[in-house]
């Protein structure tokens, strides 16, 4: 076999046969399973068997609307396929009865429809025009929620491995030039031009080279890489193979955190399938290119997402960063030239080769090309995965795609880039998303997590949260990060406890400056960002904690005072009886009051009050 | 090898390519403090106290792990460098018992020297401190982790000995510490008490038990001798106090070879005026043994005796 034509024809046949049959497809990404998707799957299988329905039951990965999981798609040939959300086992019989048996979609449960060649249904948003997808592009995420991620046949039938096949007949330098021309930059957060990195590895001297994939996604609130690995594992493999071909590597390694068992399982399956078809292995398709990929499961250290710590971890050493230079491109895994890219970066490669660098470069801004996958989490209405063109504003992502803030509350800040990023306030909501613009406002692009906060969030508390995270995850190698994050955390705790002094802000700023300037690796150098940005944009909140001993957002327990509104209090005595500290006094049917000195701020009185008369202030 | 020329504190310096900024600067007479730098094991870059400012670089760089390059403009005592160094010393002191009055290392301690040099009287940070029990389970090495600055010199020097690698980091973040496997005591570990870790410790975390309470570091006169028990030629120090050798301590391993317990004990037997009884590990416990047994010479002695008869 010297090309994939025969295999591709066979795969297309299999895929088209599947599409020509009525199907019920359950979303079984981790989000779907966590919401009960596997129970829904079981319920559907039982119902289909019990009623003897002529319908195939299939599964897919996360389509992006995690907030609506478990999601079930019903596709009847000749009709638009409808994706339903919040389908729990008890809804299954009605759904199948109505849509599969009687061909009548259940409109109130439907989220989107994908008409295909059929006439769209009235009353259900067509996917591309639905509020959630209108501003999105689907390039890296194109197969997510649409194909079965455990089927290599479907991957090949939908254009998979075409790019790799094309590369086999290209000059190695030409592949690198194409990636350079596309303007693709590292999607793990650093934003280093991918083509240049490949060039360095290509130029590096060495008889052995490696292509390594960083799938150690660790930022709180980030799950892009997991979704891609679970939804389109072959795209990552193909991207790595193209990289391997271009740089001259014959071995690849995916460093995936062990907390992603489903991703690891699907990757292992994908590797086995590709090996079975001779797409991975020795002398692939009769060429002189051989490539093998193995998976290394990470043991759960955040710092192993840092490239040199990751390499140490693969080598079986403690995950601690190495001094750079030498960079991995020259001295990486086992001391050999290594091309290290993130999951999403590799997943972009096949599309770039297949559609051309110009196609990719026409998306995005001048310096940041293409699309980026973001994870929308926090106090927003629609939690999920969204792929947007670079240059879109934060406002569009938060208010158009994510549907704004929960409960109609006011937006306060959005944290991009996890613990290495910064809190961006509302005045910067119209900042276009690209590497440079985000850096200019003190944050970073990061891997793509967006944690949205509303007015009930205390920014000092947020800074404390992230510092607690980095402090625990510091590897301990360099002094500024190991000792400095601990002291910064202690200062933040002191401020939240109402014991802060104004000089603590200066100390925090000095520590942040020194750590940023002198820490060994990216984790240390960026860990002060949450403090620096909250100090830059929300300094008054710090001062309120320190000077007025007040937490404006009402979060920091030590700074809250419980008071009874005399106008609303009926003197029923419920709070008095509930108070474990004996802090509440008052005559029957007279407004009660709380002795601040005795109050332990447990909140028991608030839960007992029927008249909404007790307030935290 | 080609040379490179760079500017350090306004002075043009020419060094062979591949020289670290630290060596280039110290060679030109400039002072740079170091804690984790071990000339026999360079390029670790962990303690960050040796940071210097390189014009055009994004952040300060560790001079011990950065190669000098043509045209580099380096400042070794700029305000940013001084701020970083002072803060790092403060951070270390915030979690370090300042019991210099009774510390065995007093007078020979890097941290003490640098705190003095940079005028850090006490740490400005108050907060959690470690309080690890002192590990004296090993008869030759006293380990006080409260004084450890996690420079990893002990870890790296131990890792150079095949089949040893007794020490490594354990835990993360603020709780990171140097420990034998499974965080046992040194006595329970595979440590053979060669003492190379003690020889490189820049602070008072690892000290020789044989010297404990025998005198201050500046009261000793050290004389370096070469061990003659094998061809490796490791260096040992004879510690004189008042004309008497009170202890022999390992100084540096021979070229590519470990310091070994046999050498240490043999040197003690040979030089110390009143040698202590040697101890050997049997069934994971140290027990007092005779010198022939400690040195593994029992068979030889028995044979000589036999032949003599």
Domains and CATH numbers, chain A: 19-126 (3.40.30.10), 152-360 (3.40.50.11540), 371-454 (3.10.20.600), 459-546 (1.20.1440.230), 561-616 (3.30.70.20)
For residue B240, the distance in angstroms to the closest alpha carbon of chain A comes to 36
Map residue A33 onto helix, strand or coil: helix
What's the predicted TM-score (pTM) here? 0.90
Prediction ipTM score? 0.90
| C-alpha dist (Å) from residue A539 to A498, A529, A532 | 16, 14, 10
Name the token pair of B223: 């004389």
The average pLDDT across A242-271 equals: 96
Q: Where are the alpha helices (DSSP H) in chain B?
A: 21-27, 79-93, 110-117, 153-159, 196-200, 261-271, 291-294, 298-308
Beta strands in B192-275 (DSSP E): 206-208, 221-226, 235-241, 244-252
- Cβ–Cβ contact B79 with A under 8 A: no
Strands B61-62 and B51-54: antiparallel
pLDDT score recorded for residue A142 = 94
The average pLDDT across A603-607 equals: 89
pLDDT score recorded for residue A371 = 94
The average pLDDT across A199-214 equals: 96
* pLDDT less than 50: residues of chain B: none
With an 8 Å Cβ cutoff, are A514 and B128 in contact? no
With an 8 Å Cβ cutoff, are B59 and A517 in contact? yes
pLDDT score recorded for residue A447 = 85
Interface test with A, best of B46, B51, B61, B78 (most A CBs within 10 A): B46
Interface test with A, best of B21, B173, B176, B179 (most A CBs within 10 A): B173
| Model confidence pLDDT, tens digit, residues A538-595 | 999 999 999 999 999 988 988 888 889 999 999 999 999 999 999 999 998 999 999 9
Q: Is the pLDDT of residue A117 over 80?
A: yes
pLDDT score recorded for residue A1 = 54
With an 8 Å Cβ cutoff, are B62 and A323 in contact? yes
Residue B15 β-bridge partners: B4
| Model confidence pLDDT, tens digit, residues A427-473 | 999 999 999 999 999 888 888 899 999 999 999 999 999 999 999 99
pLDDT score recorded for residue B193 = 87
| Model confidence pLDDT, tens digit, residues A589-601 | 999 999 988 998 8
pLDDT score recorded for residue B258 = 66
Q: Is the peptide bond before A580 cis (omega within 30 degrees of 0)?
A: no
| C-alpha dist (Å) from residue A44 to A107, B121, B189 | 19, 72, 58
| Model confidence pLDDT, tens digit, residues A390-410 | 999 999 999 999 999 999 999
Name the token pair of A196: 């240049």
Contacts of B124 in chain A (CB under 8 A): 507
The average pLDDT across A147-153 equals: 96
Q: Please provide the average confidence, as pLDDT, over all residues in chain A.
A: 94
Contact (Cβ atoms closer than 8 angstroms) between residue A449 and residue A380: no
pLDDT score recorded for residue B283 = 85
The average pLDDT across A517-535 equals: 94
How far is the C-alpha of A379 from the C-alpha of B275, rounded, in Å? 72
Q: Is the pLDDT of residue A303 over 70?
A: yes
Give me the CATH code for the B3-77 domain, please: 3.10.20.740
The average pLDDT across A256-277 equals: 96
Q: Is the pLDDT of residue A486 over 60?
A: yes
pLDDT score recorded for residue A561 = 84
How far is the C-alpha of A523 from the C-alpha of A485, rounded, in Å? 11
pLDDT score recorded for residue B1 = 65
How far is the C-alpha of A375 from the C-alpha of A386, rounded, in Å? 6
- Cβ–Cβ contact B43 with A under 8 A: yes
pLDDT score recorded for residue A557 = 85
């Amino acid at each position: 076999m010297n090309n994939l034509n025969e295999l591709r024809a066979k795969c297309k046949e299999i895929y088209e046969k599947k599409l020509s049959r009525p199907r019920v497809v359950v979303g079984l990404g981790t989000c779907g399973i966590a919401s009960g998707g596997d129970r829904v799957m079981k319920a559907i299988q039982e119902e289909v068997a019990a009623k003897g329905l002529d319908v195939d039951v299939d599964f897919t990965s996360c389509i992006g609307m995690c907030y609506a999981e478990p999601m079930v798609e019903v596709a009847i040939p000749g009709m638009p396929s409808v994706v339903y959300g919040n389908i729990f086992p008890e809804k299954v019989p009605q759904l199948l009865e109505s849509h599969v048996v009687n061909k009548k979609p259940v409109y109130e449960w439907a989220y989107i429809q994908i008409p295909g060649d059929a006439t769209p249904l009235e009353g259900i948003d067509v996917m591309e025009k639905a509020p959630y997808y209108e501003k999105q592009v689907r390039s890296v995420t194109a197969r997510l929620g649409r194909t079965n991620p455990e089927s290599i046949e479907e991957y090949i039938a939908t254009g998979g491995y075409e790019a790799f096949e094309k590369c086999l007949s290209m000059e190695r330098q030409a592949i690198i030039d194409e990636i350079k021309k596309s303007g693709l930059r590292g999607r793990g957060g650093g934003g280093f031009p991918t083509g240049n990195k490949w060039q360095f590895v290509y130029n590096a001297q060495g008889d052995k080279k490696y292509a390594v994939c960083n799938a150690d996604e660790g930022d709180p609130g980030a799950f892009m890489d997991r979704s891609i690995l679970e939804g389109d594992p072959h795209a990552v493999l193909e991207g790595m193979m193209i990289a391997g071909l271009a740089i001259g590597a014959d071995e690849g390694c995916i460093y995936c955190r062990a907390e992603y068992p489903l991703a690891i399982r699907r990757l292992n399956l994908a590797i086995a399938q590709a090996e079975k078809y001779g797409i991975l292995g020795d002398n692939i398709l009769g060429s002189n290119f051989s490539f093998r990929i193995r998976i290394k499961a990470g043991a759960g250290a955040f710092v192993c997402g840092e490239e040199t710590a990751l390499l140490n971890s693969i080598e079986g050493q403690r995950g601690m960063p190495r001094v750079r230079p030498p960079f991995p491109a020259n001295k990486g895994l086992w001391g050999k030239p290594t091309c290290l890219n993130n999951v999403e970066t590799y997943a972009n490669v096949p599309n770039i080769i297949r559609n051309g660098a110009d196609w990719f470069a026409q998306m995005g801004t001048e310096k940041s090309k293409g699309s980026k996958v973001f994870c929308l989490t926090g106090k927003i209405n629609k939690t999920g995965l969204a792929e947007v063109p670079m240059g879109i504003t934060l406002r569009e992502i938060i208010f158009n795609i994510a549907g704004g803030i929960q409960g109609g509350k006011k937006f306060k800040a959005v944290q991009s880039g996890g613990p290495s990023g910064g809190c961006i306030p509302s005045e910067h909501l119209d900042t276009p998303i690209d590497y440079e613009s985000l850096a200019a406002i003190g944050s970073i692009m990061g891997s793509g997590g967006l944690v949205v906060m509303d007015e009930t969030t205390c920014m000092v508390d947020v800074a404390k949260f992230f510092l607690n995270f980095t402090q625990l995850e510091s590897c301990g190698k360099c002094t500024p990060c190991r000792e400095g994050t601990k002291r910064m955390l202690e200062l933040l705790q002191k401020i939240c406890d109402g014991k802060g002094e104004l000089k603590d802000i200066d100390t925090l700023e000095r520590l942040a400056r020194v750590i940023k300037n002198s820490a060994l690796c990216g984790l240390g150098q960026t860990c002060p960002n949450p403090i620096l940005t909250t100090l830059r944009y929300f300094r008054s909140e710090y001062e309120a904690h320190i000077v007025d001993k007040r937490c404006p957002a009402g979060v920091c327990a030590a700074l809250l005072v419980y008071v009874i509104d005399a106008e609303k209090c009926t003197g029923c005595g419920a709070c008095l009886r509930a108070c474990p500290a004996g802090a509440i006094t008052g005559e029957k049917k007279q407004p009660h009051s709380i002795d601040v000195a005795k109050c332990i701020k447990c909140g028991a009185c608030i839960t007992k009050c029927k008249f909404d008369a007790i307030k935290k202030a | 090898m080609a040379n490179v020329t760079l500017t350090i504190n306004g002075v043009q310096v020419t060094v062979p390519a591949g020289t670290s900024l630290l060596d280039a600067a110290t060679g030109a007479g400039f002072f740079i403090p170091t804690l984790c730098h071990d000339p026999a094991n360079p390029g670790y870059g962990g303690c960050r106290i040796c940071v210097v400012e390189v014009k055009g670089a994004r952040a300060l760089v560790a001079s011990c792990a950065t190669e000098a390059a043509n045209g580099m403009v380096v400042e070794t005592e700029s305000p940013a460098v001084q701020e970083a160094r002072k803060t790092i010393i403060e951070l270390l002191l915030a979690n370090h018992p300042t019991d210099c009055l009774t510390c065995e290392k007093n007078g020979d301690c890097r941290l003490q020297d640098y705190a003095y040099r940079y005028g850090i009287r006490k740490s400005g940070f108050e907060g959690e401190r470690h309080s690890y029990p002192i590990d004296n389970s090993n008869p030759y090495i006293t380990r006080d982790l409260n004084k450890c600055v996690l420079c990893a010199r002990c870890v790296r020097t131990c890792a150079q000995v095949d089949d040893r690698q007794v020490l490594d980091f354990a835990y993360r973040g603020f709780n990171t510490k140097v420990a034998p496997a499974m965080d046992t005591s040194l006595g329970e570990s595979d440590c053979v008490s060669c003492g190379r870790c003690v020889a490189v410790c820049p602070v008072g975390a690892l000290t020789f038990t044989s010297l404990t309470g025998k005198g201050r570091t500046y009261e000793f006169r050290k004389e370096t001798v070469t061990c003659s028990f094998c061809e490796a030629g490791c260096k040992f120090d004879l510690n004189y106090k008042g004309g008497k050798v009170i202890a022999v301590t390992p100084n540096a391993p021979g070229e590519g070879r470990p310091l070994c317990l046999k050498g240490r004990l043999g040197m003690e037997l040979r030089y110390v005026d009143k040698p202590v009884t040697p101890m050997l590990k049997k069934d994971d416990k140290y027990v007092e043994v005779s010198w022939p047994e400690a040195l593994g010479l029992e068979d030889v002695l028995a044979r000589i005796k036999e032949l003599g008869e």
